[in-house]
Amino acid sequence: MARFIVEGGTPLRGEITASGNKNSALPLIAASLLTDEPIILRNVPRIRDVREMLEILSGLGADIEELDPHAVRISTADVSRTDIDARLSREIRTSLLFAGPMLGRFKQVTLGTPGGDVIGRRRSDTHWLAMRALGAELTSGKNGYGLRADRLVGGEVLLDEASVTATENALLLAVKVPGRTLIRNAASEPHVQELAMVLVGMGARIHGIGTNTLEVKGVDRLRGIEHSVWSDHMEVGSLLGLAAMTRGEVIVHRCAPNHLQMTQAVFRRLGVDTVVEGDDLHVQASDEYVIQDDLGGRIPTVKSGLWPAFPSDLTSIATAVATQSHGTVLIHEWMFEGRMFWVNTLEAMGARVVLCDPHRVVVVGPAQLFGTDLRSPDIRAGLALLGAALCAKGTSTIDNVEQIDRGYEAIDERLRGLGAKIERA
């Protein structure tokens, strides 16, 4: 098990390039099952989740060739197995994304119980209900799920929640299902849009991309494609937060500016000003950040929401940034009941935070943080704790950094390039 040893107090300064979006790369890897022609994906982040998705594909019989450190060629022409490795399913939640394309291709699939971050209950019912609406039958047990269909036919799918992965799974199935499928209450995050656009490039017929209603007309065959994965706007927001917490000045290249407006607005409310010039995000140094009160001097709220609202994945880093801003703010993360329990660690470092309930935290800043022994509970909270360690007085150790590695490529090396005093042990 790896750990980071971090000496705090050094402002981050310099330039860094955002990685490819892992939340785009993972469904695109699953989409390779929809064609017998090769697909080439570029700008793929070298992270644990991507490796595990490719390992699952390889176990099914796919031919995978690494073209360079961030490009992969995938051919699934020889895939014949329909059972997803149960051990690997438990390692990564997005193993769920193989269900749709496997069902569409082979009319059956078996997979283990999906894993992923422990941030509260993460139901998978929405996936199965969507597939059932198109003709699939589900069997489930304590060790996983089985899906089969004698006949798939287009129909109306009403998602009971606007789940990103359920929307992606429904798309990955519907593009090969005969007839017209209407997916209502669909998620519209950038990575969902990217998947849909790539599928269109492969020959799928999808209308309503970027909206909450997707119309899909099934086709018999999809072709291969070469695609460069869009930049990860979650990573950009995380880097923004780390630069601000250390009072640094950083330029983030390939910042996906069209996906940053709400992130910039929320961090501006926390006192952090940023400027986008072309494809670059400039995080400007400041000696003081001041939280913007609501009208009448009322305490403001930062609340996560569905796209294009502030993303849930950035509430952890926003909480950490708020500990370094003057004022009081309520952070409201309503999606996952386990996402905010990590803030007691911030309190142990010296932050003034009150966990009101599983979904709400009051932060009063600024506070001098002090280095201590930490443990990464999940991808996003782990990165937020890394930011806290970088701005703390003294040395911190962060255990279980494999969680951070699942979502951020070589983050220790890249932060050292910005002057961070961080070592992996």
Residues 1, 423 contacting (CB under 8 angstroms): no
Parallel/antiparallel/unpaired status of strands 327-332 and 63-68: unpaired
Which residue type occupies 291?
Answer: I
Q: Indicate if 273 belongs to the active site.
A: no
List Cβ neighbours of 403 (8 Å cut-off, separation of 6 or more).
117, 376, 377, 378, 379, 382
Joined tokens for residue 194: 């990217």
Size of the chain in residues: 425
413 burial class (0-12, 13-18, 19+ CB within 10 angstroms)?
exposed
Rounded Cα distance between 207 and 421, Å, is 49
Query: Nearest 5°: phi and psi at 220?
Result: -75, -35
Identified catalytic residue from 49, 85, 117, 378: 117
Cα angle value 14/20/22 (rounded, 5°)? 125
- Our CA angle for 25, 168, 261, nearest 5°, is 70
Q: Which residues are catalytic?
A: 117
